[in-house]
Structure 1
Amino acid sequence: MEHHDDNEHSLAADLTAMLNLNSDRRQTLRWLLAGASALPMMGCGGGSDSATDTSSTTATVATPATTTPTTTTTTTTNGSCSVIPEETGGPYPGDGTNSNSSGVVNVLTQSGVVRSDIRSSFNGPTGVAAGVPLTIKLQVVNVSGSCASLEGYAIYLWHCDRDGNYSLYSNGVTTQNYLRGVQATDSSGGLTFTSIFPGCYDGRVPHVHFEVYRSLTAATSAANRIKTSQFTFPVATCNAVYATAGYSASVSNMARISLATDNVFSDGYSLQMSTVTGNATDGYVATLTVGVAG
C-alpha cells in the first residue's frame, strides 16, 4: 500500500478537520455522530457523511427509477421517485462554509465556476486532474410535483482526485480548484459534468458530493442550497478503475471498506447508487436521478 502521509485522508483526519471548521453547527454535530459510529471501520472515501433522510416523500412518475436494492433506507419503487437523502458536505466543500489554510474558501463566487468540464483548475490555477474519464449525468426532478423535470435548477459538484486529495484543502493541491463546478439543468432537468473517476481513500467508499440550488443565481451562496447529498458507484466498476495505472493506493483502501460499513451509505444507498456504463479504457458514464421537494 502506498502511504501519502499528509496527503492521505483517514476518517480520524477528517474528524480532526471537522473540529477546526466553521461549518453550520447542526451539520457538524450530525457529521461527528455519523463519524463516531464508524470509527472502528476503516476504508476509503472523502469527506465524512451523515445519516440518510428517511422522511423522503414519494410521487408517481411514468418512468421507473433505476435503483440498487437495500434494506434500511427509503427506496424508490417502480413508477415513483423519492427525495434523495440529505448528507453532510464533509470537510472539503469549498462553498464558503469553512476555511482552508488560507482562510474562508468559496469557489461559488469565482469567475469560471459555471462549467461542464471540471478536470482543470480555473480562475488562475492551471492544474489538471488526471484519471480514468468519467461523465456524470444528473437529472433533477420534483418529488412534490409528480416527478416533473426541474429546469433552471443548479448543482454544485465536487470530489477528490485519483490520489484521494481534495483541491483547495489537501497537502500539495491547496492552490488548485479542479474537480469542482456548477451547472444548470436544461428543459429535461438534466446536466452533465466531464470529470475523472475519484480515488478511494482510507475511511470512505468512492463518492461524489453535490449541492442543489433553485437557480444559478442562488448557487453563489451555500445558504441558498436546498439539498446536500452524495452518490457512489458499483463496487465492480470501482475495482476495474483501480486496476489501472495511477490508482494503486485505492486498491488496498477499497479492500478495507464496503457500502455496509461506510459511515454514510451503511444505512442505505438505493437512491444514491449511480448507474454506470463504459469501461476503464474508454471511460465511464454515471447517471443518477436527484429527487428534491421542488
Structure 2
Amino acid sequence: MSSASSSSSSSSSSSASSSSSSSSSSSTSGTCTTFSNETEGPYPGDGSNTVSGSVVNALAISGINRSDIRTSVGSASGTAPGLPLQLTITLVNSNGGCAALAGYVIYIWHCTRDGLYSLYSTGATTQNYLRGIQVTDANGQVTFTTIFPGCYTGRMPHIHVEVYPSLASATSYANKVKTTQFALDRATCTTVYANVSGYSSSTTALNGITFASDNVFSDLSSSQLAAQTIALNGDTTNGYTGTITLGISA
C-alpha cells in the first residue's frame, strides 16, 4: 500500500478518460444507461495490435482471470505499486429492463501511477499487471482489486473496459461486444495525486488536461459523463472503493 500524507473521504462526480477519438452516443433506458462506445486506445492487449512485430494478447495469458490485478501473472512477476482501489462493476442489459447480465466477461486495464501501460510502455513491456478478466456472477457483478490509476499527458484519468459474451469467447478482441471507458472524478484524483507517494507526475499531467479538452469524453453530455464515472469512496490512507453500473444493449 502506498504511503499517504493526508486522509480525505470523497464520493465521485463527473470525470473521464483514455486514448483516441471516440464514438459517444450513450442512451438511458429506465434507470440504467447504455454506455457510449469508446476507443480501446493504443494499449489494449487484446490481440488487436503488435509490439516489435509480436501480437500482444493478455487474454491468452495463464492466470489473467483474476480479481487482484496488481501483480503480473504467467512468466512475469512484477507488482504495480499504488493506492489500493477496489472496483465493483455491475453489468446490466439497458435494452431489457436493466436486468443483470450473468456469465459475461469484463476485461479491464489501466495505467500505473506513473502513467505507463504494461506490455507496451518502456520499462513495463515484460509486465502484465493492471489487466484482468472476470466472469459476472448472478447479479452481473465482478470486483477487481487494483490501484488508483495515474494520469498522463493528454488524457484525463480513466479505466479501459471490454465486454465479452462468455469466458470461452474472451480470447480475442474479435469477440468483444462492447468497448468503453470509465472516468474518475477530478476532485478525487487531485487529492490522491497530491497526497499519496509516487503520484507526483500525475499531478503535473492532470494540471494540463480537462474533460472539455479530453479527446475521448469531451463530446459526452453531463449526464452521460456522470453515468460513466466511477462512484468513489475512501481516503488517501486506506485506499478507495468504487462502484459503477455498466449498461450494454444485450
TM-score by length of 1: 0.76
CA distance in 1, matches of 2:18, 2:183: 11
Deviates more, 1:44-53 or 1:181-190: 44-53
Where in structure 2 are there 5+ consecutive unaligned residues?
Answer: 1-15
* Structure 1: distance between partners of 2:206 and 2:158: 12
Partner of 1:132: 83
Q: For 2:21 and 2:76, locate their aligned partners in 1 and report how far apart those are by CA, in whole Å.
A: 29
How far apart, in 2, do the equivalents of 1:178 and 1:102 lie?
Answer: 21
Structure 1 equivalent of residue 20 of structure 2: 48
Matched residues in 2 for 1:47 and 1:101: separation?
Answer: 20
Task: Identify the residue that residue 201 of structure 2 maps to in structure 1.
Answer: 249
- Higher RCO by CA contacts (8 Å cutoff, separation 6 or greater): 2
Query: Percent identity at matched positions?
Result: 53
Query: What is the match of residue 4 of structure 1?
Result: none
Instruction: Show CA shifts across 1:227-260 (max 9, x none).
Output: 0000111111101110121011111111111111
Q: Find the counterpart in structure 2 of residue 259 from structure 1.
A: 211
SS at match of 2:108: strand
The equivalent residue for 1:278 is 234
Equivalent position SS for 1:242 = helix
> How far apart, in 2, do the equivalents of 1:95 and 1:49 lie?
19
| Partner residue, 2:249 | 293
1:101 is displaced (CA, Å) by 2.3
3-state DSSP of counterpart to 2:78: coil
Q: 1:100 Cα deviation (Å)?
A: 1.2
Following the alignment from structure 1 to structure 2, what is the Cα–Cα distance between the partners of residues 217 and 49? Answer: 30
Partners of 1:45 and 1:154 in 2: how far apart?
22
How far residue 261 of structure 1 moved from its aligned partner, in angstroms, is: 1.2
2:32 is equivalent to residue 59 of structure 1:
no
Q: CA deviation at 1:45?
A: 6.2
Please point out which of 118, 121, 141 is paired with 2:92.
141
> What is the CA deviation profile of residues 81-114 of structure 1, one whole-angstrom value per residue up to 9, with x for unaligned ones?
1210100100000000001125111111121010
C-alpha RMSD of the superposition: 1.4
Amino acid in structure 2 at the alignment position of 1:263: N
Distance in 2 between residues matched to 1:103 and 1:293, nearest whole Å: 33
1:266 maps to amino acid: S
* 2:141 is the counterpart of 1:185: no
Q: Which has the higher helix share?
A: 1
The offset of 1:271, in angstroms, is: 2.2
- Report the structure, 1 or 2, having the larger strand content: 2
Q: Deviations along 1:122-156, whole A, 9 cap, x unmatched?
A: 00100000001011110000111100001111101
Residue 30 of structure 1 aligns with which residue?
A: none
Q: Which amino acid aligns with 1:275?
A: A
**Which residue does the alignment assign to 1:158?**
109
SS in 1 for 2:150: coil
Between structure 1 and structure 2, the one with the greater Rg is: 1
Equivalent position of 1:13 in the other structure:
none
Question: 258-267 or 201-210: which moved more?
Answer: 258-267
